[in-house]
Amino acid sequence: MDFVPFGVTLHPVDATRKVWFISGCSVVLEKGQQIRKAALVEAYWEKNDWFFSEVQNVGKGDKDDPCFTRAAEQALAAELAGE
């Protein structure tokens, strides 16, 4: 899986802690095809070190997904035509 970040948002958890949400696009393998989906990584600073979550796929890989590409649209159309 690949993850390409494109934005960071800072959210305070409480008076002493903050979490950074790193948004981007991931590339995952589904049914033998690479699909681009919106994804998120959470990061926080604790005890003088950074901690990162696993990549969380939050998109569906469809036309409404901000990471959806023209190539994916063509592949989806071809798949639907074959049904």
Segment 27-75, tens digit of pLDDT: 888 888 888 889 999 999 888 899 999 999 888 878 788 887 765 565 6
- DSSP for 11-60, written as a single string: EESSSS-EEEEEEEEEEEEETTEEEEEEEEEEEEEETTEEEEPPPEE-S-
Q: Note the pTM of the prediction, 2 decimals.
A: 0.72
- pLDDT for 27 equals 87
CA–CA distance, 34 with 66 (Å, rounded to integer): 16
Indicate the SS3 state at residue 64: coil
